[in-house]
Structure 1
Amino acid sequence: MSFQTVYQQKRLSAADAIRVLRNGDTIIVPSGVGEPPTLLTALSEARRDFRGIQVSQIVPIRKFDYMDLETAENVRHTAYFFGGCTRPGGQAGVYDYYPNHFSEMPEMLRREMFPADVVFALVSPMDQHGYFSTSLGTDYTMAAVKRARAVVLEVNPNVPFAYGNCHIHISEVTALCESEAPVTEVGLPKIGPVQEAIGKYVADMIPDGATLQIGYGSIPDAVVMQLTHKHDLGIHTEMVGDGIMTLVEAGVVTNRKKNYQTGKMLATFALGSKKLYQFMDRNPALEMHPVDFTNDPFLAGQNDNLHAINATMQIDFLGQCGSESLGVVPYSGTGGQSDFVRSANRSKGGKAFIVLPATAKDDTISRIVPTLTPGTHVSTSKNDVNYVVTEFGVAQLRGKTAKQRCEALIGIAHPDFRGELREAARKMKLL
């Protein structure tokens, strides 16, 4: 029987395809724009027909009706990482979340530490060999496919077919539907003078030939904008976005100097524009892999000169980073920050940067604090943090004493807060 014949046998409407669900199932959905909008819309429309369904995902992009808190007993979101769509439900206590390292999620799925009954995923059209590509969200999806009772795909011609370990065979598919809507585009964050200043400090410390991991946000993007004069950079990251594509087009990223996976850019999910998605399609220089390959500190750390750039919201005198909550109130999640901080620490010549504006709320609050706000979730520990960068400079903490760290961090705090920070440090016997 041909692959096309099997394909036609499994092709259904989205409304029929979601009927593989059973009450109490957990649906695994890829991160970001890898979410299948037609399937999730059909689930939303039929949500009152079910009870006890959970949808688990990192960073949903669209706010679907199934996220209605009034029907949470029918279908409820469970977060691996909160995004703008799910943050209100998380902060209201309706949505629960799984603390995790991004790199460990596939293994946690394999060990059945996370439930995974059904996979819903957005994929490319099937190739002549019967394979679909999960290019936009490879992440933990591939491990979930192996675990799930049912795999339901939304096939869209606008999804790129990428290379790497990101392919699902038609024989693994329970049902599929088709759509032709454009893939959701995610614009670049707003970059202002503060972000530019931080970006310049970081960019100046990145040598030619370095391999980069670039997180999402205005400051990492500000770093990218200031790398256009560099040479022979490489990419080993979790997210591929428009900034990286721009560096490739400018000839800055060649991957020639990478000593691990030489000549290849590696990532596990994509977030950007239509142009980015077209850039990914059958691009032999880019491979999309599961997150336990891209983010594993042992593997990523085999890149010499790995430079990892990630943002935080608050940091204390010892260097503990609170990147995912506002006190006890959840905001996002750990994601790959600690994965890549540890990767860069392992790398020969590597540097891990934690970046943050010195203040918040129109310069009324210092983000550098004596102690983290009570209840804050620590994302990067004091033992892992290395370079901390604000618009006022760079503090290098790894290998430094508690007192040296405190002095260095106060030195890059906003000048208006340095006096009170020094007074707090003296009371804590750190100065």
Structure 2
Amino acid sequence: MAHRCTLDEAVDRLLAGLDGPIRLGLPLGLGKPNHLVNQLYRRLGEQPARQLTLYTALSLGRPRAGSELQRRFLEPFVERLYGDYPELDYLRDLRQGSLPPNVRVEEFYLQPGSLLDSAPAQQNYISCNYSHVARDLDAKGINAVAQLVARDPARPGRLSLSCNPDITLDLLPMLRRRRAAGERILCIAVVHRDLPYMPGDAEVDEDVFDLLVEQPADTSTLFSTPYMPVGWQDHCIGLHASALVRDGGTLQVGIGAMGDAVTSALLLRQRDNVAYRELLAALAVPQRHGQLIDREGGLGPFSEGLYGCSEMFVPGLLDLAEAGVLGRRVHPRAQQRRADAGEAVPGGVWLHGGFFLGPRAFYQRLRELPAERLAGIGMTGIGFVNNLYRDEELKRQQRRDARFINSAFTVTLLGAGVADQLEDGRVVSGVGGQYNFVAQAHELHGGRSILLLRSWRENGGEVSSNIVWNYGHTTIPRHLRDMVVTEYGIADLRGRNDAEVIEALLAIADSRFQDGLIAEAKAAGKLPADFELDRRYRDNLPERLRAVCAQHREALPEYPLGCDFTPEERDLLRALTWLKSKLRLSEILELGKATLDAPAPEAFPAHLARMGLEQPDGLREELYQRLILAGLQATRNGFV
């Protein structure tokens, strides 16, 4: 039976109950018991002879500003959104390179882009598929596990792993075997008052844990990820991808603006199919890809509905369920046979997920869902979601016409995808489950992997292509190439030879870079010397798509799933994004021109007040004021 104790007592028992080094496993993301971890970290800092290794992923910290203007925008917003969320002390020291010598942090997934310059984080990063994490942690001999859990007074003796059954459910049987062999292993649960109580596989007996910290329960602010704007480029990507989703099929979609854009497009397809078809026609999607869409996807609303099978339960999936897009339910084996025979079988789930993370409003929605609706969400182990083995026959039957939709930041002209690491070896995030889903797509009958890619990017006034001839690292090797979607179209790469793959990707590349890419491919002997790209694809330019999006602005909301920003903050975020893309702080002439073109302060008084620049003090603040005004003026009419 779990021993009920305070936070202090839990740390005392952990230190006293384990001899030698402590190897502590913590959940990915939201489920970390930060107060417990911070106290243990501080105690070990006072005991330099005692070794501590933390094994985890996605250590979440408040957004940090990279410039003075970002600081002025972020500080009030962060204070409002994160409140008393307890920052992880080890994360602060990891960023600063000041971890104590007796402490090491090993992560298999990093908060994207946050630890590029942290040598300890880069050196101790573990590169592995999400589905292999439990196996690898067990091999490392972890001897303690700690995580946040949820409590429901109506379920005495039970706890919910809530947001993070992903690794815990896979790991517990391994730990039990080692315990049976005589190893000392401690499992600690910390009840958080605001975590949604998720039923099904996520619900476990209290006795799974040795120590239970419940009185008082953790009441600090849960970490949340605010809804971010979806720009015209991402909306175009989402619209193309949405046409590849087949009614009655299976859906996995990742986090981020491009994933939200896919969700927005699917919602439009369901709720206003006429507007959806008009928008796709304006983008020439049916004209260019009609046969592919007829074969692999569809443009009509969803009648049978989709089944969700996604390692991350993103908020958009709940929106899709409420709109009737996600509604195809699957069942355990015995019930599935009855359902397949046409019998009405109650229950079942419309989503299997491994973990969740999102805005505060998302957690609130989950807490308020009626029991019968909540029962349709099957939070479970990542080994179930990300793999086909273990009841493979049933999974193949249920995961029909699967569309695994993920993003990349670079794709090579031969079809390899880059999503986790820079060319110099520094890790941006991690492979997570992306490879798992791409592999599943190739193994499942009717399954397809869809990589979403912005065809170009702009930073500091420099525009570059995200489709390149070659790159020094790949996340998805080219022998697993399948579908790539940019704002300009869809490239179906499966089973094609190299020259065909190159031509298909050139057709969805930005036209400003097509000639250079063709020259590189010809120089390598991968295209015939007389190759010419079809002229239909020579007008892949932002101006054309911006004009279409402007004409259909009502169907393309900037925040399609919700918003955590005030109206002034939305404008300011757009302006700051524009400034970052267009200007370099080192380019004085460029900055000067931007300030000369700026409107008078009277045009945006509330925005300047929000940034503390309504009455600039000195030349520096005057420059900041003029830059903000220039950005607001440039972006006042819509998308960045």
Structure 2 length-normalised TM = 0.62
Deviations 1:292-316 (A, max 9, x none): 0011044555411111110111111
In structure 1, what is the equivalent of residue 429 of structure 2? 332
Q: Distance in 2 between matches of 1:284 and 1:73?
A: 46
In structure 1, what is the equivalent of residue 196 of structure 2? 160
Deviates most, 340-349 or 125-134? 125-134
Equivalent in 265, 268, 289 of residue 380 of structure 2: 289
Which is richer in helix? 2
In structure 2, what is the equivalent of residue 394 of structure 1? 490
Q: Please report how far the alpha carbon of residue 158 of structure 1 lies from its aligned counterpart in structure 2 after TM superposition.
A: 1.2
Deviations 1:401-422 (A, max 9, x none): 0111111112211111111100
Deviations 1:359-399 (A, max 9, x none): 22346221111111x2x2x2212122210011111111110
Residues 126 and 263 (structure 1), Cα distance of their counterparts in 2 relative to 1, 3 Å cut: closer
Q: Please report how far the alpha carbon of residue 319 of structure 1 lies from its aligned counterpart in structure 2 after TM superposition.
A: 1.1
Q: Please report how far the alpha carbon of residue 105 of structure 1 lies from its aligned counterpart in structure 2 after TM superposition.
A: 2.2
Residues 369 and 88 (structure 1), Cα distance of their counterparts in 2 relative to 1, 3 Å cut: closer
Residues 294 and 42 (structure 1), Cα distance of their counterparts in 2 relative to 1, 3 Å cut: same
Deviates most, 177-186 or 388-397? 177-186
In structure 2, what is the equivalent of residue 248 of structure 1? 321
In structure 2, what is the equivalent of residue 3 of structure 1? none
What pairs up with 1:9-408 in 2 under 5 angstroms?
10-19=3-12, 20-21=14-15, 22=18, 24-50=21-47, 51-62=50-61, 63-67=87-91, 68=93, 69-84=97-112, 87-88=115-116, 90-91=118-119, 95-109=123-137, 112-125=138-151, 128-146=155-173, 147=175, 149-177=185-213, 178-228=217-267, 229=270, 230-231=301-302, 232-256=305-329, 263-281=349-367, 282=371, 283-298=374-389, 299=392, 301-302=396-397, 303-327=399-423, 328-362=425-459, 364-372=463-471, 374=472, 376=473, 378-408=474-504
Matched, 1:418 2:417: no
Contact 1:89–1:95, Cα closer than 8 Å, also in 2: no
Secondary structure of residue in 2 paired with 1:319: coil
Q: Distance in 2 between matches of 1:234 and 1:400?
A: 29
Gaps of 5+ in 2: 62-86, 176-183, 271-300, 337-347, 528-640
Q: Please report how far the alpha carbon of residue 196 of structure 1 lies from its aligned counterpart in structure 2 after TM superposition.
A: 0.4
Q: Distance in 2 between matches of 1:131 and 1:122?
A: 14
Secondary structure of residue in 2 paired with 1:226: helix
Deviates most, 137-146 or 381-390? 137-146
Residues 269 and 364 (structure 1), Cα distance of their counterparts in 2 relative to 1, 3 Å cut: same
Contact 2:115–2:121, Cα closer than 8 Å, also in 1: no
Q: Please report how far the alpha carbon of residue 42 of structure 1 lies from its aligned counterpart in structure 2 after TM superposition.
A: 1.8
Deviates most, 160-169 or 394-403? 160-169
Contact 1:158–1:183, Cα closer than 8 Å, also in 2: yes
Q: Distance in 1 between matches of 2:465 and 2:7?
A: 49
Gaps of 5+ in 1: 1-5
Q: Distance in 1 between matches of 2:141 and 2:407?
A: 30
Contact 1:142–1:290, Cα closer than 8 Å, also in 2: yes
Q: Please report how far the alpha carbon of residue 92 of structure 1 lies from its aligned counterpart in structure 2 after TM superposition.
A: 5.5
In structure 1, what is the equivalent of residue 278 of structure 2? none
Deviates most, 277-286 or 200-209? 277-286
Residues 60 and 131 (structure 1), Cα distance of their counterparts in 2 relative to 1, 3 Å cut: same
- Greater Rg by CA: 2
C-alpha RMSD of matched pairs (Å): 2.4
Q: Distance in 1 between matches of 2:413 and 2:463?
A: 19
Number of equivalenced pairs: 419
Q: Distance in 2 between matches of 1:65 and 1:387?
A: 42
Q: Please report how far the alpha carbon of residue 126 of structure 1 lies from its aligned counterpart in structure 2 after TM superposition.
A: 6.0
* Partner AA of 1:421 in structure 2: L
Q: Please report how far the alpha carbon of residue 70 of structure 1 lies from its aligned counterpart in structure 2 after TM superposition.
A: 1.2
Secondary structure of residue in 2 paired with 1:132: strand
Contact 1:79–1:95, Cα closer than 8 Å, also in 2: no
Secondary structure of residue in 1 paired with 2:11: helix
Q: Please report how far the alpha carbon of residue 113 of structure 1 lies from its aligned counterpart in structure 2 after TM superposition.
A: 2.6
Q: Distance in 2 between matches of 1:368 and 1:329?
A: 20
Residues 286 and 317 (structure 1), Cα distance of their counterparts in 2 relative to 1, 3 Å cut: same
Q: Please report how far the alpha carbon of residue 15 of structure 1 lies from its aligned counterpart in structure 2 after TM superposition.
A: 2.9
In structure 1, what is the equivalent of residue 632 of structure 2? none
Contact 2:105–2:121, Cα closer than 8 Å, also in 1: no
Q: Please report how far the alpha carbon of residue 279 of structure 1 lies from its aligned counterpart in structure 2 after TM superposition.
A: 4.1
Which is richer in strand? 1
Deviations 1:334-370 (A, max 9, x none): 1111111122223332221001101223462211111
Q: Distance in 2 between matches of 1:27 and 1:225?
A: 40
Residues 394 and 257 (structure 1), Cα distance of their counterparts in 2 relative to 1, 3 Å cut: farther
Deviates most, 129-138 or 79-88? 79-88
Deviations 1:141-173 (A, max 9, x none): 223344271111110121122123223432232
Q: Distance in 1 between matches of 2:25 and 2:330?
A: 37
